[in-house]
A = this chain, B = another copy of it.
């Protein structure tokens, strides 16, 4: 293919930066020919890039340039040199009169996906052509919100004295028991992909005290729902010399910070998505599991102690609280082995969940820090302490009291950006059926 070379030419502006106040300025734009219209003696090209788009107008007097523009396919990669002109005929009140054009890459036709969304595609088609799908302003907005969540979280954790850790993704044995693990062949040995950094982040409180980790975890659960993925981004904290109540303060501060930063710094993204968000007030409402059971029964839903709440019931609880609610003192039988028993009632635990808008966003608790109890709890859950020998040994040499929690980043992105399916929040989702692209 005979393509133009970018040479010394560089983008001077993003498309969205072309505004009427820059009238008469010479600019270089680079992006995708999103729409091409031939109208009488003119060629109009909507040049789109990650910032948005801008109309570029080609006049017949620029003969070679004009002829090139006439032959453009949609999504051809182009660079244009031109002059900004105020214009009342365009929606944004401005256009660029092109004097030069480079065709940096050609696009085949027809496109597998309509980027302008004039013809909507189903999610499967969109994910198969994900790179084109991600050129849509709506999708770029979702990832701006996702990135803001991650950026605000890292800033906040660092301010609060947490050290970032990267614990291993390849592990020798199941971290929390259960069969939901992907096996890896590791130099001929059996290994697994971690389903959480749980055991490692707990260990790290025994040296770095306050730690956080943001990274992929892997769930081999064959759940084909709009809320489940096999490769999930999880945000974890763990605090030494702390109880679950200390972690609530961090959790409330973090959620408040994320919502507040997004409402201030991601106005455009929220606008594109048509989302309005309310920064939740601190402190959040607290409710024991027992009180939640009573409340749900009073509200007329039949709910047995020891049951897990359904989505509808979680919605009832957050609606009743008028905002995020931390449900705590869950039955021990509902929580994993590393959660500490409640000191006043061995049937209860120091485990908790955070619900926002009827969605469980975070799960956490006070942990066991004493080796004998750790082994006892493993046995009580039917797990074999021998498989945890590598972990248990550190509980014998100075494990501090500690507590922590984990937030599902994809779910939080879903909630804040208002998309219906968790797959919308991940660049290249992995699930029961999907391993491509």
Contacts and interface: CB of A to CB of B under 8 A. Distances in A.
B166 A233 contact: yes
B436 A172 contact: yes
Contacts of A167: 427-428
A151 B140 contact: no
A108 B399 CA distance: 11
A135 B430 contact: no
Given A143-B163, A167-B428, A233-B166, A215 B215 contact: yes
A187 B428 contact: no
A279 B206 CA distance: 34
What number of copies of this chain does the assembly contain? 2
6 contacts: A105-B369, A151-B158, A169-B216, A170-B193, A170-B218, A203-B437
The 5 closest A-B pairs by CB, nearest first: A134-B207, A390-B437, A75-B398, A131-B394, A30-B241
A168 B390 contact: no
Nearest to A200: B428
Interface in A375-400: 390-391, 393-394, 396-400
B182 A185 contact: yes
A140 B211 CA distance: 13
Contacts of A139: 207
B186 A131 contact: no
Given A11-B241, A140-B207, A435-B191, A170 B158 contact: no
Nearest to A202: B131
A220 interface: yes
A230 to B, nearest CB: 7
A209 B10 contact: no
B182 A184 contact: yes
B150 A207 contact: no
A401 B131 contact: no
Contacts of A207: 50, 131-132, 134-135, 139-140
A122 B206 CA distance: 21
A141 B348 CA distance: 40
A219 to B, nearest CB: 11
A183 to B, nearest CB: 5
A272 interface: no
Contacts of A230: 170, 186-187
Contacts of A182: 170, 184-186
Given A5-B401, A77-B399, A166-B233, 7 more contacts: A6-B242, A131-B394, A168-B428, A172-B435, A200-B428, A203-B437, A393-B437
Contact of A427 (B3, B165, B193, B430): B165
A427 B166 contact: yes
A129 B203 CA distance: 11
B11 A108 contact: no
A222 B54 CA distance: 52
A360 interface: no
Interface string A142-160: 0110010011001000100
Given A200-B428, A427-B204, A104 B400 contact: yes
Contacts of A76: 398
Interface string A189-232: 10101000000100110111100000110101010000000110
Given A32-B398, A437-B391, A3 B370 contact: yes
Contacts of A435: 170-172, 186, 189, 191
Given A131-B203, A131-B394, A437-B390, A166 B400 contact: no
A1 interface: yes
